[in-house]
Amino acid sequence: MFDRLAEFINRHEELSSLINDPDIIADQTRWQALMKEYSTVTPIAEKYREYCDAKKAVEEAIEMLDDNPDEEFRELLKEELAENKTKLAETEQELKLMLIPKDPNDDKNVIMEIRGGAGGDEAALFAGDLFRMYTRYAEKHGWKTEFMSASESDLGGFKEVCFMITGQGAYSRLKYESGVHRVQRVPETESGGRIHTSTVTVAVLPEADEVDVDLNMNDVRIDVFRASGNGGQCVNTTDSAVRVTHIPTGIVVSCQDEKSQLKNKNKALKVLYARLYDMELAKHNAEIAGERKAQVGTGNRNERIRTYNFPQGRVTDHRVNLTLYKIDSIMEGDIDEIIDTLTAAEQAEKLKTEE
């Protein structure tokens, strides 16, 4: 680990020189690439210097303890030594976490797809509740939410809904939400007061650029049709809705949210890119399934990851055995405690793998 850290220090010093070189500043493309690397390397270099300072302080305190007979002064040195040893251990742990290979998708925007599963109308209602939960969470983080497409249920909620969340680190926080979410509550349509169990599936896809996916447009069929449902005269009287079909995989994406056919086409293609990229990620993850088996990861979409029990007011994440009795605030987007716990669990597993 310390050999790698020494390399970071050397690279940090090299980058400090390069980004101030007039010739490199003149080449904005290269300068921006170096600045991005510099911003990544700097926190690690600074944390390593902090570690070195703490280590030096420990060594000096031990040396002074050996050379000083004054008991009162020795007590002060012992307190200082204990503090510096604690700081040294904490800093070393922080460095280990910082050196864990970063998920290349962490800084990407996300496309979220929520679909009602078992439970019919109640599942659709809960899909609407989860949609609201995630949009509220996005608001709390200052992220932008963009509606992509939806199929509404007759009693409210969504049979399925697709939307994009744009913001720094959105995928790094929301990737743990992929999977089956189970709800236990008395539906509004239930006159007997019986608790029903329903499920909703959530897919979290990192937004994919065209360079991330090798998409041949000859493999894509684009159909236009008249939109249905709410949307006003223009939506319902023009062929503005778009259906994109990727022939090799059979993936179909429809979008009718916008009045413009072009905008709907662009949105549908954006979702298609994300789904194809997600398929490639799934293949890659299957190849290293043994390594990821013990990790929290993003979860398997056919596995139940969380239960929302409304009568008991609790939410349980089954991957980390975390139960919180604050379902009302969680449904308002207060899910950071859950995500922080999942992040810590994944980091702990990765540290074991690194060791």
Q: What is the mean pLDDT of residues 184-212?
A: 80
3-state secondary structure 220-287: EEEEEECCCCCCHHHHHHCCCEEEEEECCCCEEEEECCCCCHHHHHHHHHHHHHHHHHHHHHHHHHHH
Show the tokens assigned to 271: 């979702």
**3-class SS of residue 34:** helix
Q: Answer whether residue 291 shows pLDDT above 60.
A: no
Considering the entire predicted model, what is its pTM?
0.68
CA distances in angstroms from 196 to 153, 182, 318, listed in the order given = 18, 10, 19
pLDDT in tens, 104-161: 788 888 989 998 888 888 899 999 999 999 999 999 999 999 888 888 887 888 888 8
Q: What are phi and psi of 241, to 5 degrees?
A: -75, 145
Q: CA 39 to CA 180: how far, in whole Å?
A: 37
Q: Answer whether residue 236 shows pLDDT above 60.
A: no
Q: State the pLDDT at residue 321.
A: 92
Query: Residue 189 gets which letter from DSSP?
Result: T
Q: CA 180 to CA 304: how far, in whole Å?
A: 4
Instruction: Classify burial at 219, counting beta carbons within 10 Å of its beta carbon; exposed 0-12, middle 13-18, buried 19 or more.
Output: exposed
